[in-house]
Amino acid sequence: MKMLVKAPAKINLSLDVLHKRPDGFHEVEMVMTTVDLADRIELELMNDGKIHILSHDRFVPGDHRNLAYKAAALLRERYKIKQGVAITIHKQIPVAAGLAGGSSDAAATLRGLNQLWKLNIPLDELAALGAQIGSDVSFCVYGGTALATGRGEIIQELPVPPNCWVILAKPTIGVSTADVYQNLRIDKIKHPDTNAMVQAIKKQDYQAMCENLGNALESVTLKMHPEVAHIKEQMGRFGADAVLMSGSGPTVFGLVEYESKVNRVYNGLRGFCDQVFAVRLIGERNPLA
- Residues annotated as part of the active site: 10, 136
Contacts of 67 (CB under 8 A, 6+ apart): 102, 103, 105, 106, 133, 134, 137
Q: Do residues 103 and 151 make contact, with C-beta atoms less than 8 angstroms apart?
A: no
User: How far apart are the C-alpha atoms of 148 and 29, rounded to whole Å?
Assistant: 6
Which residues are within 8 A (CB) of 34 and not within 5 positions of it... i.e. 6 or more apart?
A: 8, 9, 10, 143, 144, 145, 281, 282, 283, 284
CB 17 within 8 A of CB 217: yes
Strand partners, 8: 38
CA distance 244 to 168: 10
How far, in Å, are 26, 151, 181, 211, 223 from residue 22 at the CA level?
9, 12, 15, 33, 27
